[in-house]
Chains A and B, each alone.
Chain A
Amino acid sequence: MAMTDVAHDAVDYVRPAEVAEEALYHPKTWLGKYVFSQDAKIIALQYSMTAMAVGLIALLLSVLMRLQLGFPGVFSFITPDAYIQFVTMHGMIMVIYLLTALFLGGFGNYLIPLMVGARDMVFPYVNMVSYWVYLFAVLLLLASFFVPGGPTGSGWTLYPPQTILPGTPGADWGILLMLISLAFFVIGFTMGGLNYVVTVLQARTRGMSLMRLPLTVWGIFMATILALLAFPALLVSAVMMTLDSVLGTSFFMPAIVSMGQTLDYSGGSPVLFQHLFWFFGHPEVYIVALPAFGIVSELISVHARKNIFGYRLMVWAIVVIGGLSFVVWAHHMYVSGMNPYFGFFFATTTLIIAVPTAIKVYNWVLTLWRGNIRLTVPMLFAIAFVFTFINGGLTGIFLGNVIVDIPLSDTYFVVAHFHMVMAVSPVLAVFGAVYHWYPKITGRMLNETLGKFHFWVTFVGLYCIYYPMHYLGILGVPRRYYATGVTDFIPESAQVMNAGISIAAIIVASTQLVFLYNLAVSTTRGKPAGDNPWGATTLEWQTATTPPSHGNFGKELPLVYRWAYDYSVPGAKEDFIPQNVPASGDTGDAR
């Protein structure tokens, strides 16, 4: 720890933002620089690459599921057990190990210090450990593919009693690995998360008041707070479930006759688990959504050359949504057998969230209005995000309104809805963000033609996958079904739709290879980007070098003179004024 003493132990604590560059620990060895690095930017890349690697596995699993659903019986290696194992691992990986890790560990690490004008995270060492713990959690999770019985097949919600009983694949080893892996994820995340929060609170450079923060930082900051407060619920339920499974306690396990045998459990409450799970699970939705909100606000403003409309409302909406997201969890439990009178409360709180959320959407669109819109690849993704998010947000109103949820819950309507809001939309935001910040990370632009191809196939393809899927749900097709078989309410034509969806899914999935190719090739062959290719105002574009070196800003930290959205200021010379530019004849500040 000696190398970070400057940042930690001095009596009169020096804010890391103000640590002089020479005082930073600069590793001398290759290993210290690229593997066991304490530089938030390297850690960010490690997080991102690991997350994308597991994400690819999860994508592959989804293709396998789609093969089964689109062409039932054709691929005989996909057994009913394998199918629900795929469903479970796909869901869990996508939500936790890909999106949460990517948005917070990846984008959070890269962007927070740069955007608030700090040299690094406040606790670089802890930050590094956080990544390694995350990696360990990922490996544990993947190990469950190789243990006897395979990974757990209990659905990503892990509802007991089914999770730990025979009749569900992976009920002995798979589930344990899953629970332990989740516990490690939470621990690793807590280390990182404390860092992100404290860095935003304490390490902002001079002049960077809270309301001068870019919305990206606001989104990630609030999402981190949600995660810090929500993940404990996952941890607590994982601990209690592990005890139920290993030591035979009855936290969640009632008296049960399983497969003709009376088990030793008694009196526990499966619904208690659901409350704990969704107390984590609903905020989790916003852990994924808020960073996407922030990033999209940024992209839209930069590429429309216009200040974000209603900045204050955007910030307040993020805060309000974050707060409300802790009092809506039981909207996932309308049919769980909980006291039905809760329905009134949770339907109301849920629909209240619709208001700040709608305001965000209006403000994105109103930012475009009277803008000067450059349809760059990041901008295409940002607009596509708004489109799919409107769609997914509106179907959320169906499911939040308790009585409308009753026929739809546990059907494909739910699958379509949550993919639209928490899969398609955030993934589009991720792509937009990668196209936007790649030039800063590597110093080179991504290939635009490949980018556009990637965009069109991904956006239109994903919409074609999920829009029709809602109607399967309205028909009444239940989710997590290996095969629907013959029923009296599903017309045969539904299978045609299913096959079509599967083909679209395969096309979309394979197009991601183009994206990966683009990422790889452009590191060396991309057009040199310069320091600020998009003409953006925020601090990460004002670094001395591109890519930024360790310490981010060279000798002097930037001073912040203005908010993050001075685009097209009347009277100013350029159509953007970086945050670190003081008032002068060129900035139109005299007004």
Chain B
Amino acid sequence: MSLRRQLSTKPWLAQRGVVTDAGGFVGSTPKVTLGAFLCVASMVFALFIAAYFIRMTYADWRPIPVPALLWLNTVVLIGSSMALQWAAVSSRREHSDGMRLGLTLGGGCALVFLVGQWLAWRQLSGLGYFIDSNPSNAFFYTLTAVHGLHLLGGLGAWVRALVRVRQGVEIARLRMTLELCAIYWHFLLLVWLVLFGLLLVT
């Protein structure tokens, strides 16, 4: 039943005395939970971006040069996301080798991405673009840091999954974890693309 239909039933009349199926809301619980969390995380990024746009209109804003390294990092993050997707698909198809490889590669790339981000910070501060020299710098460091922290959190889940793979947990029981990881990674990739685009355009 559509949400609108559900919300317009008259509960004192509809199927009185009958156990209607309450039904899960949408899909499986872990995915619903992750979806809800992604809404919260999107809100964090959306608000940062809104603040970015407002702050940008003030006179003292000087755009920060975008280090070329960020292009490389972007490619690595795309790779990371794809590898995890591959791991998730493999687990659905019960291909344990593909799953292992995808998982390892995915997390590995994410680590590389984080190191790359850190190098980009180093490059910028080496050139004298410190966090307090201009609001655009402040936003750059803050946004990349917040994004990085989210990725770090994801890596926590990744380590757990990796350990369980090592322990030889059946593949069927890992499927959900891998799918969740993949979704989360895609989300962070999307956020990164938005942030990166924002930096390039402004």
Contact = CB atoms under 8 A, between A and B. Distances in A.
Question: Do A and B touch (CB < 8 Å)?
Answer: yes
Interface of A: 8-11, 13, 15-16, 122-123, 190, 194, 197-198, 201-212, 228-229, 232-233, 235-236, 239-240, 243, 247-251, 264, 266-269, 272, 275-276, 279, 307, 311-312, 315-316, 319, 559-563, 565-566, 582-583, 587, 589
Contact of A312 (B10, B25, B54, B172): B10
B6 interface: yes
Interface in B9-59: 9-12, 14, 16-26, 28-30, 32-33, 36-37, 39-40, 43-44, 47-48, 51, 54-55, 58-59
B44 A209 contact: no
A13 B28 contact: yes
A562 B17 contact: yes
Nearest to A204: B22
Contact of B51 (A9, A13, A276, A312): A276
5 contacts: A209-B23, A243-B142, A249-B132, A269-B58, A589-B17
- Describe A's contact surface by its main secondary structure: loop
Nearest to A587: B17
Given A201-B32, A232-B47, A562 B25 contact: no
Contact of B25 (A201, A248, A319): A201
Contacts of A16: 29
Given A194-B36, A210-B7, A232-B40, A268 B22 contact: no
Contact of A11 (B16, B17, B26, B175): B175
Contacts of B20: 207, 209, 212
Contacts, number: 162
B22 A267 contact: no
B200 to A, nearest CB: 22
A475 B60 CA distance: 42
A194 B29 CA distance: 11
B47 A122 contact: no
- Describe B's contact surface by its main secondary structure: helix
Contact of A249 (B14, B28, B36, B131): B131
B176 A11 contact: yes
A249 B22 contact: no
A275 to B, nearest CB: 8
B18 A228 contact: no
A583 B18 CA distance: 8
B170 to A, nearest CB: 9
B140 to A, nearest CB: 11
A561 B19 contact: yes
Given A206-B22, A562-B17, A243 B131 contact: yes
A118 B22 CA distance: 12
